[in-house]
Chains A and B, each alone.
Chain A
Amino acid sequence: MNNKPKIGVYVCHCGMNIAKTVDVEAVSEFASRLPYVKVARNYSYMCSDPGQQLIKEDIKNEGLTRVVVASCSPRMHENTFRKTLAAAGLNPYYLEMANIREHCSWVHENREEATAKAKKLVYAAVAKVRLLEPLEEKEVEVEPSALIVGGGIAGIQAALDIAAAGFKVYMVEKTPSVGGKMSQLDKTFPTLDCSACILTPKMVDVASHPNIELMTYSQVEDITGYVGNFNVKVRKKARYVDINKCTGCGACAQECRLAGTIPSEFNMGLGKRAAIYLPFPQAVPAKYTIDKERCLFLTRGKCGKGPKCIEACAAGAINFEQQDEIVEFKVGTIIIATGYELFDPAKKPEYGYADYDNVITGLELERLVAASGPTGGEIVIGKGEKAIVPKEVAFISCVGSRDESVGKPYCSRVCCMYSAKLAHLVTEKLPDANVRIYYMDVRAFGKGYEEFYDRVRREGVRYIRGNPSEIFKRGDKLVIKAEDTLAGRTLEDEVDLVVLATGLEPRQDAREIIDILKLSQSADGFYLEAHPKLAPVDTATDGVYLAGCAQGPKDIPDTVAQAKGAASSALILLSSGKVKVQAQISNINEATCRGCGYCVEICPFGAIDLVEVNRMGNIVQVARVNEALCKGCGACAAGCFSGSAQQKSFKDQQILPQIAVLGAMK
């Protein structure tokens, strides 16, 4: 540091936010007498143009080398004032803020005491600011490609947008086909668009787009690196079918000895498939996969006199020797669009889902009403002689939503509307059926939703306000035990079919991505966005974005909108080609580090590694910070036993004088 520092102190009134409780005049007068302070001023709004101008002029005219702004939280305006300093030719990190609003005026009433505290905070900032060092913001190159994890509608939309902008996209989907949950829906609310009709073209686009490399039946194994430069490792699971040869003709599935015996995941177990299968007719890619958990040849090493699928396949695509394949590639940005799972209603045994065939979930009914479903679109419960066409149909909403008794306090946002939609489809298919929906509140918040709710009611769907408590059997009927809370009447409602509107929950395997990318979860278990309002698609990990129900329950319009938002965020990175990394990062003094590795353990961003160095002829381990990954949280500095880890702008020698001042002042 050359010469003595020249400090400028600027006390903000924040209108009356600060000035009402803190005597700003007295604070600036006090500041003007502090060591190295050249000028001290107070002003109504320091963040305003004229306020910033004051600082710029003083830097120019008074030759200030350090600036203290006493105003609001640094989260609010630290960046604003850094830019002010930079504009006046000063290193932006020569700034220190004293928070006399959130930490003082807003939380105190006594003006005298608040003023005394504001003085302390300003003094502490002055004590620190003179010791700050100039920092530089580094830039790193961005790999011009994106990874999208999850091939549902969220992932599909994000992939198409990024690909359309001219960047390479790698899409990794766990199941044999893209399409996700949306592909299982018959119609979509409130417009009653055929789900497959609007989704299938997008699925096909994903597979055929020259910029998109689609990896289905694949799983992300590991991701290392940092924003702009992620290294991705993907396991392509063996399908035992050469997808370059498979024509999707289906002869193999017809011949399979297990044809028609394995519950079809796509049809929610209501239909059966073979061990070699295409999940659904519109699957993309239209390539068959062998279920290795079920296939006789793969589980027992024997399938009659030989696997019949091999004989049946004219293209010679079946290959039981196929192995998992590991592929590695680099991307600049990542979008997590892994979706959700449905609440398992067996966890609410009072509804008898596990006991009765005619208690089903909404998605199961979706498959029953779908023309491509196991009954060809007929609503039939049971098989053979016992099969019935239900006359009395009841929906129960909020099954696994808004329910603390099963640890699901949140609203799943789609069940009210999908129940209304399904109720409509039931009345359409079964005009003689009496349909009612048991509800607690109807949440019809989206565009056209309330109107759809109005329509469905007028079509004859009865809404009964009361959340049923129990279902049991009386003869052939199911009895719903409930209260009509508007009438104050208890009911034992006898019906033929109960449809449970099960809520949305985080995927069971959500942890896998968390472990790989160090994402956070919100209390409901979904992935946590960086800010609930202003950064809803970002995560705490730079370059990683969220889309769709992985972040929380959403309907299709919101999912698509968020996917486009995530794509836009990813494209900002990709199209600028460079990314600035945090300047106030940690640094480890390798000369004093003893390589204990404690900081490696506590770093929440995986930014510290142990490396071997030669110390006077001895090979020793020391910790080293990856500057692109470090977020400057300071955990390593706080945890380091030898004081070797120090965070820039928060070094011990910078904050100890600040603390000393606070302790010394009465």
Chain B
Amino acid sequence: MNTDLNTEMQSFIQKYDLLGCIQCGRCTGGCPVTVRTNLNVRRIVYDSRNEEVLEELAKLPEIWDCTACNTCAVRCPKGLKPVEVLIGLRNILVEEGSVEPTVRDALESIFREGNPWNKSRATRCDWMEGLDVRIVEPGEKVENLIFVCCTIAYDPKVQGIAKNLVKILNKAGVDYGFIGESESCCASEAHNMGEEGLFEMAIEDNTELLNSYEAKRLVAISPHCYAAFKNQYPDLKAEVIHYTHLLKELLEEKKITITKECAEKVIFHDPCFLGKQNNVFDEPRYILKQVGGAELVEFDRKRERSLCCEGGGGKMWVEGSATKAERLAETRVKDAREREATVLAVACPFCVLTLDDALKARGFEEEMRVAEILEFIGPLVE
């Protein structure tokens, strides 16, 4: 037996606690993408216990169908994280250099420019143009240090999220600061695409950068950055919160009020990285309930049972093997329409992109719009 491989194998089994698995099937049972693909994560966990087949397993196209929603890990009765096993297999491919060019480009872009979108670092703050944004320098004391998220910073379709936040913060007169051009990707998606080395490097660099501010709280706008900072960055000094925590606080303290009425039927879609993974369910709903004239309705599959939109786990850069059935985002907009919602509210830039595409694909533009909470309430705040 090849002893090197054996040692490596030992560490794969131990790293993911594969021998703790009882093959109950709850992971695959809960996996949202099984209705569309052949991905069976329970089976992959089972097969991964054989050292001979790891590389072969890594070649299965369906390992790229995982959206890293984490349902399998949240529900596992034995504390395993099946999603991480898939990421471990992706890591084998990354190490071999045999990933899709789109994935490779995104990873390289994170390494070089601090964002996965092949954009220049110098243009990271272009979205701020025309806005009165407070930027803080390292060493400066600040109550709320805002972390923007690469997608929001660069993608015009979701830049409005950050713009509205700035307007609200200025109105509230709250002590905040943005990082500016030195802000770099949290690399959550690099981790999810299996680039462990890059993720570790990002943790090190970002921790140093973020700890160089005298910040009381680090406010992430995207649930993906929030989840990464909260759960995967062990040494951050500031308390990590999501912007919905801050917004709820400002509303409660009456530092902002939603004065304009809006006669819409709003339905809220729980993002996996915010809800399922971090149990933030009530804050977004609290905010939406403050909108006068609007009616908040719920999906049947809400809160802990929310259906993933397929935006995470690297799905922005790789299509995966899914052929069967409709996209989950389409199921979601259909369900929202069935409840006669006119606004599909979300709290995540990836959800905005996937759900908006689905809404257009379904031709619901007349009846309904997808709106990030900040974009929805921004114009209503005095």
Q: Which of A405, A484, A491 contacts B75 (CB 8 A)?
A: A405
A402 engages B77 (CB within 8 Å): yes
Q: Is B301 an interface residue (CB 8 A)?
A: yes
Interface stretch of the complex, out of A446-454, A460-468, A523-531, A586-594: A460-468
Interface size on A, residues (CB 8 A): 29
Q: Is A143 an interface residue (CB 8 A)?
A: no
A469 engages B30 (CB within 8 Å): yes
Q: Which of A402, A472, A473, A483 contacts B29 (CB 8 A)?
A: A483
Residues of A within 8 A of B40 (CB): 483, 488, 490
Q: Considering the chains assembled together, what is the distance between the CA atoms of A469 and B301 in angstroms?
A: 13
Q: Considering the chains assembled together, what is the distance between the CA atoms of A9 and B24 in angstroms?
A: 58
Q: Which of A350, A466, A468, A473 contacts B304 (CB 8 A)?
A: A350
Q: Is A481 an interface residue (CB 8 A)?
A: yes
Write the chain B residue with the least CB distance to A464: B25
B29 engages A490 (CB within 8 Å): yes
The listed residue with most B CB atoms (<10 A of its CB), out of A404, A441, A465, is: A404
Residues of B within 8 A of A355 (CB): 300
Q: Is B135 an interface residue (CB 8 A)?
A: no
Q: Is A485 an interface residue (CB 8 A)?
A: yes
How distant is B20 from chain A, measured CB to nearest CB, in Å? Answer: 9
Write the chain A residue with the least CB distance to B41: A483
Residues of A within 8 A of B25 (CB): 440, 465-467, 482-485
Q: Encode contact with B along A10-29: 1 for CB under 8 Å, 0 otherwise.
A: 00000000000000000000
Q: Is A344 an interface residue (CB 8 A)?
A: no
Question: In the complex where A469-B75, A488-B40, A492-B35 touch, is A350 in contact with B30 (Cβ < 8 A)?
Answer: yes
B28 engages A403 (CB within 8 Å): no
Q: Encode contact with A along B133-148: 1 for CB under 8 Å, 0 otherwise.
A: 0000000000000000
Q: Considering the chains assembled together, what is the distance between the CA atoms of A488 and B31 in angstroms?
A: 13
Q: Considering the chains assembled together, what is the distance between the CA atoms of A466 and B23 in angstroms?
A: 8
Question: In the complex where A483-B42, A490-B40 touch, is A467 in contact with B77 (Cβ < 8 A)?
Answer: yes
How distant is A442 from chain B, measured CB to nearest CB, in Å? Answer: 13
Please give 12 more A-B residue pairs, beta carbons under 8 A apart, in addition to A481-B30, A483-B28: A349-B304, A350-B305, A404-B78, A440-B24, A466-B29, A469-B26, A469-B27, A469-B29, A481-B29, A482-B29, A483-B34, A490-B34
Interface size on B, residues (CB 8 A): 27
Q: Is B22 an interface residue (CB 8 A)?
A: yes
Q: Is A435 an interface residue (CB 8 A)?
A: no
Q: Considering the chains assembled together, what is the distance between the CA atoms of A69 and B222 in angstroms?
A: 71
Residues of B within 8 A of A490 (CB): 28-29, 31, 34-35, 40
B79 engages A349 (CB within 8 Å): no
A488 engages B305 (CB within 8 Å): no
Q: Considering the chains assembled together, what is the distance between the CA atoms of A403 and B76 in angstroms?
A: 8
B22 engages A349 (CB within 8 Å): no
A405 engages B77 (CB within 8 Å): yes
How distant is A465 from chain B, measured CB to nearest CB, in Å? Answer: 7
Q: Which B residues fall within an 8 A CB radius of A?
A: 22-31, 34-35, 40, 42-43, 71, 74-79, 300-301, 303-305
A349 engages B303 (CB within 8 Å): yes
Q: Is A398 an interface residue (CB 8 A)?
A: yes
Q: Which A residues fall within an 8 A CB radius of B?
A: 349-350, 352, 355, 398, 402-405, 440-441, 465-473, 481-485, 488, 490-492
How distant is A347 from chain B, measured CB to nearest CB, in Å? Answer: 11
Question: In the complex where A405-B79, A483-B29 touch, is A472 in contact with B305 (Cβ < 8 A)?
Answer: yes
Residues of B within 8 A of A488 (CB): 40, 43
Residues of A within 8 A of B300 (CB): 355, 472-473
B304 engages A467 (CB within 8 Å): no
A485 engages B304 (CB within 8 Å): no
Q: Which of A349, A440, A465, A469 contacts B71 (CB 8 A)?
A: A469
Q: Which of B26, B35, B76, B305 contacts A352 (CB 8 A)?
A: B305
B77 engages A398 (CB within 8 Å): yes
How distant is B339 from chain A, measured CB to nearest CB, in Å? Answer: 12
The listed residue with most B CB atoms (<10 A of its CB), out of A467, A469, A482, A488, is: A469
Residues of B within 8 A of A398 (CB): 24, 77
How distant is B7 from chain A, measured CB to nearest CB, in Å? Answer: 27
Residues of A within 8 A of B76 (CB): 404-405
B75 engages A350 (CB within 8 Å): yes
Write the chain A residue with the least CB distance to B20: A404
Question: In the complex where A485-B24, A488-B43, A490-B35 touch, is A468 in contact with B29 (Cβ < 8 A)?
Answer: yes
Residues of B within 8 A of A467 (CB): 24-26, 29, 77
User: Could you list some 27 contacts between A and B, CB below 8 A?
Assistant: A349-B303, A349-B304, A350-B75, A350-B305, A352-B305, A355-B300, A402-B22, A403-B77, A405-B79, A440-B25, A441-B22, A465-B25, A466-B24, A466-B26, A467-B29, A469-B30, A469-B31, A469-B75, A472-B300, A481-B29, A481-B30, A482-B29, A484-B25, A488-B40, A490-B28, A490-B31, A490-B40
B301 engages A404 (CB within 8 Å): no
A468 engages B79 (CB within 8 Å): no
Residues of A within 8 A of B23 (CB): 485
Residues of B within 8 A of A441 (CB): 22
